[in-house]
Structure 1
Amino acid sequence: MKTKPFSTKYALIAAGISAALMLSVDAQAATAAPVKNGASQVNITMTSEGDGTCHIDHTSAKAGPVTFTVVNKTATSLTELELLSDNRILGEKENLAPGLPAVKFTVTLDGGTYQIYCPGAKQELTNFTVTGKAAAAPTGSVATLLEEGTKGYASYVNGVVDAMVVAVDRLKADIDAGDLEKAKADYAKARPFYERIESDVSGFVLPGFKATDNAGNLDYLVDMRASNIDPKVGWHGFHAIERELFSKKAITPETKQLAAELQTNVHKLDEQVKQLTYKPEDLANGAADLLEEVQSNKISGEEEAFSHLDLIDFAGNIEGAEQAFAFLKPGLEKIDPDLTRRVTEQFAAVRALLETYRDPAIPGGYKYYTAELKASEGAKLSRAVQALQEPLSKIAEKVATSGK
C-alpha cells in the first residue's frame, strides 16, 4: 500500500514538481547516468536520514534502456519506489525492507521528463530527465495505441502479482514465527496487491477442477469473505487469516496452515497470470468491475469485517482501475477526448476524497472503517465512486467498436 495518497502524488506531478520537492540528489546527479551493458545505470539508496530519504546518483540519462538499482540501507519507513509518466507506473519495486539485497528494473525510455516516486520519504518526488530523441505524440492508429496499452497493462499486472508473492511470503514468515503484531502489520501491506488486479485474476481454476468447484477456484481460495463461504470447501485465504489475527487475536496451528495454503495459492496465481493477454475492452471492463467491488464490498464494510481495513482495499481497487484507464488513455483520447477528460477528473476527485481518510498511525495508512465511519461517510464515498462509474462504464464499448 502506498504510504502517501494518489492525490498527493498526481497533484505534485501536475504542478511540475518544483525543486523544493525533489528527492535527495547527490552532487554528481547533474551528469547523465553512465552506460553499462547497453543501458544507462541509475542507483537509488534509501536511508533513515530525515525520517526517510531516497538518494539518487543521477537524475538524467540518454534515451534508451535505463536500469534502476534500488537498495534500502536503513530506512524502516520506506518500502517501495516507482517510475512514473503521465499517471502511469512504468516500473516499480516494492517490499524494500532494510538490509535486503539491491534489486533492479529496466525500462526503455524516450526523451522527456519522468518522475521518480519514493512514497513515505520526507521529499517524495523528483524529475528524471531523458535526453535524445523525444517521444513523439501518438500518431499511430487507434488500434495500435490500444494494443500498446494492453501490453503495458500486462506488465503492470505481472509486477503487482510478483509484489504480492513477496508480501505473502513475509506474512507467512511472521505467522510461522508467532509474531502477532508484525503479522497484523504485514497483513495490511499484503492486501492491496490482490485488490488492484482482482478483476483480472478472478477466473482462474486449477487443473483437474470444474469451473463450478470452489475447491479449485483460486479467487475463492485466496479472497473469499465470511459472508459467502462454500461449506463443502471451507474457509481459506486472506480473510480466514484476518479473522485469526484480528478477531481471535492469536496465532494457532490453524493460522499457520492457512498461511501455508495462501502462500501456495498465490504462487500458483503468479504462474497463471504470466500467461494472460488482454484486449482493450478487457481493461475497460476490469476497471468497471473494480469500481463495482468498491460499491458492493468496500463501502458496505463487508470486505475487512475483522480488521476494518476496508479503505486500504478501496484504495487498491481505485489504483487498479486507474492504471487500466491510464494505459487505454492514448487511444481513448483519439476516440473521445471529452469522455477521457471526464474520467480523468472523476478519478482525481475520488483520490482527493480518499486523502481525507489518511492516518499514518494505522497499518496501511487509512482510518479504520468502523460502523461509525461508515454511517457518517459511506454515502459520500458511494456518491464519489458513482460519479466515476457513469463515464467509465462507457469506455468498453468505445474501445471495442473503435475500428468498426
Structure 2
Amino acid sequence: MVNKGADAVTEAELVDGDTILGEKENLTPGLSGTFSLNVKAGKYQLYCPGADTEKVDFTVTQATGATAAATRSAEVTTALTAATTGYATYVRQQVADLVTTTGAFVTAVKAGDLDQAAKLYGAPRLDYERIEPVAESFGDLDPAIDARVDDAPDEASWTGFHRLEKAIFADRSLAGTAPIADKLNTDVGKLNTLVAKATFQPAQIANGATELLDEVGKTKITGEEERYSKLDLLDIQGNIEGADKAFTLLEPALKSLDPTLASTVRTRFTAMDKALAPYKEGTGYVSYDKVTQDQRRGLSQAVDALAEPLSQVAGVVVS
C-alpha cells in the first residue's frame, strides 16, 4: 500500500463487516506499508478512512495447490497453533483484569474521590494498552473507550478514559462525570464479551505487535496520549509488554522459520527495555513532562529500531 499524496488518508484496513482483520497505520503522504494475513475465501472490504472512495470490495478466492500450512513442518505448525491459543488466553486475561481495574476506578470517580480516582487511573490504562489492537478490531468500541479529545466530533460526545483523565488531572472536578464512568464500565464489559469469542491467527498476532509499536511512535512519544495525567511512559510500557508477549508466543516458530530475524527482534526488545529503565520511579515512571525532547528522541529511536524487524514477522509466519 502506498499513499501517493492523500493528506486525509493515514491508514488502510481489511474489514469483514464491522471487524478489522488487519491494518496499517501512519500512512502519511509518500509512505508505504504492508500487513499480512491468512483469510478464508470470501468477500471483504479495504477501508481507507478519508479517501474519496473509502471502501473498496476485496474478494479472496480459494488458493489452488499446496497451502502454506500444508508445507510447514509439524514442529512449526504446532508452535503456531500454540501461539494462537496462548494469545487468546493472554488477551482474555488482560481484559478480565481490565474489567476489575476499571470497576475500581469507576467506583472512585462516582464517589467523587479525586485523589483515589487519580491513584487508580493508571492500572486500567496499563491493562488496556497491552491489548489495544484487539480492542481496535471491534469497530467503534475503541473510540468509545480510548478516544482523545481531538478524536471526538465535539467535547459533548467525548467519552472514555481520557474524558475522565481530563476531569481528574486538569479540571480537578468530577461533577457530572458519573454517566461517563458508567458508560466506560459498560463498554469495557462489552469488550470482555467480545474477546471471549475471538480467535487469532499467527499473522494477526504479529501485525498486532507491530501496531502496538506504531501506537508508541504515533501518540505516546509525543505526549499527546496522556496529556493531562502525564502517564505516557506507563502507556508505552503497556504497548511494549503487549508487543513482547505477542512476539514471545510466536518466537518458537520464528526461530525455525527465520532464526536471524528472531534473534534480531529479541535483541531489540532488550534494548527497548533498557531505554525505558532510566525513567522508572518506584512502581511506575516519572511524569512525562520531566522527559526532555532529546530523551524523547532517544526513546523514539529505540522504538523505530524495534519496529522495523518486528514488522517483518507477519510475512514470515504467513509464508
TM tier relative to shorter chain: 0.7 to 0.9
- Residues 144-185 of structure 1: per-residue CA shift (max 9 Å, x gap): 211111100110000000000000100011112221111001
2:173 to 242, 250, 274: 250
Which of 309, 312, 316 is the equivalent residue of 1:391? 309
**Alpha-carbon distance in structure 2 between the residues aligned to 1:318 and 1:292:** 10
- Given the alignment, which residue of 223, 242, 258 partners 1:320? 242
Mapped partners of 1:232, 1:180: distance in 2:
21
Q: How far apart are residue 238 of structure 1 and its match?
A: 0.3
Match of 2:220 in 1: 298
Match of 1:169 among 97, 103, 110: 103
2:76 is matched with which residue? 142
In structure 1, how many angstroms separate the alpha carbons of the residues matched to 2:224 and 2:138? 23
Q: Distance in 2 between matches of 1:143 and 1:374?
A: 46
Task: Tell me which residue corresponds to 1:365.
Answer: 284
Percent sequence identity over aligned pairs = 39
Query: Secondary structure of 2:291's match?
Result: helix
Report 1:318-357 matches (<5 A): 318-357=240-279
Task: Answer yes or no: is 1:400 the counterpart of 2:298.
Answer: no
Give how far 1:374 is off: 4.1
Aligned equivalents of 2:196 and 2:277: distance in 1?
A: 33
Higher strand share: 1
User: Once the 2 structures are TM-superposed, how far is the Cα of residue 393 of structure 1 from its aligned partner?
Assistant: 0.9
1:171–1:186 contact (8 Å) kept in structure 2: yes
> Partners in 1 of 2:196 and 2:237 — Cα distance?
24
The one-letter amino acid paired with 2:167 is: E
State the 1:383 CA deviation: 0.3
Quote how far apart the aligned CAs of 1:232 are.
9.4
Provide the rounded CA distance (Å) in 2 between the counterparts of 1:223 and 1:295: 17
After superposition, give the CA deviation of every residue in 1:190-215 in whole Å (9 maximum; x if it has no partner): 1111100011120214xxxxxxxxxx
Report the residue type matching 2:111 in the other structure.
A
Show the counterpart of 2:208. 286
Asked if the contact 2:136/2:142 (under 8 Å) is kept, the reply is yes
Give 1:177's aligned amino acid. Answer: A
Label 1:351 to 1:232 Cα distance change in 2 as closer, same or farther (>3 A).
closer
Aligned to 1:102: none
Q: Is the CA contact (8 Å cut-off) linking 1:245 and 1:251 kept in structure 2?
A: yes
SS in 2 for 1:250: coil
1: CA distance between counterparts of 2:305 and 2:155?
40
More helix per residue = 2
Residue 300 of structure 1 contacts residue 374 of structure 1 at CA under 8 Å; is this kept in 2?
Answer: no
Alpha-carbon distance in structure 2 between the residues aligned to 1:140 and 1:149:
14
Tell me which of 130, 145, 152 is aligned to 2:86.
152
**TM-score relative to the length of structure 1:** 0.60
The separation in 1 between residues aligned to 2:272 and 2:264, in whole angstroms, is 13
Structure 1 match to 2:194 = 272
- Name the CA distance, whole Å, in 1 between partners of 2:154 and 2:115: 30
Asked if the contact 1:346/1:387 (under 8 Å) is kept, the reply is yes
Q: CA deviation at 1:390?
A: 1.2
Higher relative contact order (CA 8 A, sep 6+): 2
Q: Distance in 1 between matches of 2:305 and 2:239?
A: 16
Partners of 2:266 and 2:135 in 1: how far apart? 25
Larger Rg computed on CA atoms:
1
| Native 8 Å contact 2:130 2:238 kept in 1 | yes
Deviation at 1:231, TM superposition (A): 3.3
Q: Structure 1: which 5+ runs fail to align?
A: 1-138, 206-216
Alignment check: 8 A CA contact 1:299 1:374 kept: no
- What amino acid is the match of 1:368? S
Distance 1:199 1:148, change over 3 A: same
Q: Displacement, 1:244?
A: 0.3
1:234 matches 2:151: no
Distance 1:190 1:219 in 2: 14
1:223–1:374 CA distance, 2 compared to 1 (3 A): farther
**Residue segments in structure 2 that go unaligned for 5+ positions in a row:** 1-72
| Counterpart Cα distance in 2 of 1:286 and 1:353 | 22
Distance 2:240 2:141 in 1: 22
| Structure 1, 231-240 or 221-230: larger mean CA deviation | 231-240
